[in-house]
Amino acid sequence: TGHQARVLHMAMSPDGTTVVSAAADETLRLWKCFAVDPQKKPAQKSHPDKKTNTLLRQQIR
């Protein structure tokens, strides 16, 4: 089930598998959106600065 009011903010987890949404009804919801195959190695990021990648992911609205 989803929120009872409009969504105000969204952010993605650092591993890219979960999205959190915050709504006007003062609730947080965690959404498992992207499954990770445990047998595959994680893809190498093209940008070595993880801090920048995290900031970009937190800017999703």
CA 3, CA 8: separation in Å to the nearest integer? Answer: 11
Question: What is the sign, positive or negative, of the torsion defined by CA atoms of 36, 39, 45, 46?
Answer: negative
CA 19, CA 16: separation in Å to the nearest integer? Answer: 8
- pLDDT value for 19: 93
- pLDDT value for 20: 94
pTM score of the predicted model:
0.55
* 4, two tokens: 């009872």
- pLDDT value for 61: 43
Read off the pLDDT of residues 7-59 as tens digits, 9 standing for 90 and up.
999 999 998 889 999 999 999 999 998 777 777 766 655 555 555 555 555 54
Is there a contact between 27 and 9 (Cβ–Cβ < 8 Å)?
A: no
Is there a contact between 6 and 15 (Cβ–Cβ < 8 Å)?
A: no
